[in-house]
Structure 1
């Protein structure tokens, strides 16, 4: 009986390995961050759930379990798809994302003068269309980079065709979500640099983007009342859309030491200060009762408060390992499209994570980006899982190619 049990366990293990192919370290990272997410989201939403649901503190925990379960299913099925299919649908998905972004700007759900979401009928789920657009953009850029390597240094034939989709997508995202547009643009330029695009062309883009950023900083300084510690009244030309929000966030970051820092920044700093080296312990956060969005935008501050600098450093380490494994995958992938796609998706997730953490500790102006795979579930969480599934699809195909090469060597030997 024991022999039968051992044989069945071997078969089940082999079956599981066969079904979950690809980089095992990335799979482990998905599991670890999902577990961290469950712990921290439950802690961060404990008080909120108690107030809203008459003492039931498990509502958001069960919701997060559902999102994580769905996310892992998405990772699994995405990694089983041959990544070359994404190259075939990249162009169509890119055009669809443009339509969705335009629709969102005019007819989407408006929050704080910004329209970022559309609501899906029947399931009643709000989707941030910029997530779709980022995924489509990186698929399309990876396809272009793989096809234009022979003219990659040429300004008209190589550089311009790749800059057009970047400008279009970032330009449509920017009115409602400037931080996401800037991060998407920065990730795109990093991908172009790795794709051997001429450095002088990339430097030209960086200089062009720096002009409006410098102007925004100058306007923020000119319309800040240092005596009152607040923003002066803006002229009509600077009061359209989310421009006042951009100016206010720059002012808050520039003059926080001289004036009063924004409420959420103050509470995040208190959480970080309370955390110390080892933290207050799991579930013992005090700032969750005061910090806005402790389960999404400011979840890293809760991690520091409960797990200290050691816990915070562990999260940084996990994302760095993920980036390292993705770079390793880029170097091993025999086909350009898969290599560029895996690298682009990993870069955007890690850059988003670093931005979220920098905001939480006061090193970056306030943005609305979440911590990938850790912040409470939503459409962004599911698209993160889809991105990781695509990365694992590339890893699975690399693994298969290496396995075939080993078999050929054994046959020749």
Structure 2
């Protein structure tokens, strides 16, 4: 009887696989059944929310950047955001279809390429609002540091995972060199916020890689010393910290952002009804969270914060079942970076962090930001892909449609 039921079970799996396309051997077929559909749906929700938020912020941004004979259409940034999404989403899906090995190679190449571009920013980059962070590429400006973020996380994961193969490799010492170089280049731009993200992601990945507590403690002390030194010898840090802690200097941006955020109360003033957003310096990018608060209410802001938390928690919980050290480090590094960027942006808007000039992932307007985030999420989806049959039955269904004992 056992053999009969076993044969029937195999046949049923084979029929179901054929009926629902699970026997599809194409790249699209494998991707469809292996991808984390819930994570993809959550990201799609963020992109949809972002479109609504950019539409709300676009008139305020248009007024701000209109002057003299130069008039910016009210929904200029909204239409451009649609165009960036039309480019970014296919990029994200395409990268998520890569195998882990190909995704790793792609990320290592990207890390090297954008690090080289970062070297040329001080030489080739135009100065905008006192900072050099971009490179002109003919059709617009490209910010190398934004693209380097996801590639950096994967490159660090690869380097730190080498320790599993050879315990004698000084991976910690080797990882210091690129991090220090990136930090110096970013501080020159200046871009203090991105520096914090790169260093924080690196430290988090060191902890996951099993670096000793003595080293982590030393890094914590070095971090405190670094912030103190930055306060006394780095003008950008001095201005930001003084404004945050003592209210000295120009606090207009953060003060106005907080007033705008709370102006709508719990439920907001309604789409397009906000007025304080017209006084924000960057309503479509850095302070879009405040625009959401004014027009859609504090409850909407809380829901967005929870959405980011769910994405981070889902990836970290899913990685608990992963057995590849590289995949664990890469997935954790990418999602920590994603969550930290969201946290910093929201913290600035509610005045619990100094102004950083950080976009809200998938919600803020921006070409470099949207494409870089799409690349990062594509890599994250690639590293969290899982064959569903490995955990659902004692038989592994091959893509040929035949059921084989696991």
With structure 1 as the length reference, what TM-score do the two structures score?
A: 0.83
**1:273 Cα deviation (Å)?**
2.5
Seen in structure 2, the aligned counterparts of structure 1 residues 337 and 406 have a Cα distance that, compared at 3 Å, is farther
C-alpha contact (below 8 Å) 1:137/1:166 kept by paired residues: no
Q: What does residue range 174-253 of structure 1 map to in structure 2 within 5 Å?
A: 174-176=187-189, 177-217=191-231, 219=232, 243-253=234-244
Alignment of 1:17-28 (within 5 A): 20=32, 21-28=34-41
User: Match for 1:132 among 125, 147, 157?
Assistant: 147
Is the 2:342–2:359 contact (alpha carbons within 8 Å) kept by the matching residues of 1? Answer: yes
Question: For the residues of structure 1 that align with 2:20 and 2:63, how far apart are their CA atoms?
Answer: 46
The answer to whether the 8 Å contact 2:389/2:397 transfers is no
**Correspondence list, 1:88-167, <5 A:** 88-121=105-138, 124-149=139-164, 157-167=170-180
**In structure 2, how many angstroms separate the alpha carbons of the residues matched to 1:151 and 1:158?**
10
Work out the CA distance in 2 between the residues paired with 1:321 and 1:395: 15
C-alpha separation in 1, matches of 2:23 and 2:81: 30
- After TM superposition, give the deviation of residue 148 of structure 1 in Å: 0.9
Q: Quote the RMSD (CA, aligned, Å).
A: 2.8
Q: Deviations over 1:45-65 (max 9, x none)?
A: 124436847584332221111
Residue 339 to residue 247, structure 1, CA distance change in 2 (3 Å): same
SS in 2 for 1:148: helix
* Residues in 1 aligned to 2:199 and 2:91: alpha-carbon distance in whole angstroms: 26
Match of 1:70 among 79, 87, 90: 87
1:389 positional shift: 0.8
2:341 pairs with 1:352: yes
Sort the Cα spacing of 1:204 and 1:48 in 2 relative to 1 into closer, same or farther, 3 A.
closer
Change (3 A) 1:183 1:379: same
Aligned to 1:44: 57
Partner of 1:254: 245
The structure-2 alpha-carbon separation of the partners of 1:401 and 1:270, relative to structure 1 and needing over 3 Å to count, comes to: same
Cα distance between partner residues in 2 of 1:19 and 1:140: 24
Contact 2:260 2:293 in 1 (8 A): yes
Return the offset for 1:11.
7.1
How many angstroms apart in 2 are the aligned matches of 1:144 and 1:309?
A: 42
Structure 2: distance between partners of 1:113 and 1:88: 36
- The residue aligned with 1:7 is none
Give 1:233's aligned residue.
none
Mapped to 1, the partners of 2:345 and 2:281 lie a distance apart of 14
TM-score, with normalisation over the residues of structure 2?
0.84
Gapped runs of 5+ residues in structure 1?
A: 1-9, 220-237
Evaluate the alpha carbon distance shift between residue 329 and residue 316 of structure 1 in structure 2; reply closer, same or farther with a 3 A threshold: same
Shift in Å at residue 404 of structure 1?
9.0
Residue 114 of structure 1, CA deviation: 2.3
**Distance between the aligned counterparts of 2:275 and 2:387, measured in 1?**
47
- Equivalent residue number for residue 371 of structure 1: 360
CA contact (8 A) 1:330 1:340 kept: no
Tell me what 1:281 maps to.
270
Per-residue CA deviation, residues 118-175 of structure 1 (Å, 9 max, x unaligned), is 1213xx12111112322332121111122112556x6x72321222222222222222
> Shift in Å at residue 401 of structure 1?
5.4
Distance 1:133 1:283 in 2: 35
Deviations along 1:332-369, one digit per CA (max 9) or x if unpaired, are 23322222111111110100000000000000001011
How many Å separate the matches in 1 of 2:209 and 2:361? 25
CA distance in 1, matches of 2:106, 2:216: 27
> Where do 5+ consecutive residues of structure 2 fail to align?
1-18
Asked whether the equivalents of residues 267 and 291 of structure 1 are also in contact (C-alpha less than 8 Å), the reply is yes
Superposed CA deviations along residues 191-248 of structure 1, whole A, max 9, x for unmatched, are: 110111112112212212221312344x3xxxxxxxxxxxxxxxxxx6xxxx433221
CA contact (8 A) 2:319 2:384 kept: no
Are 1:133 and 1:169, in contact at CA under 8 Å, matched by a contact in 2?
Answer: no
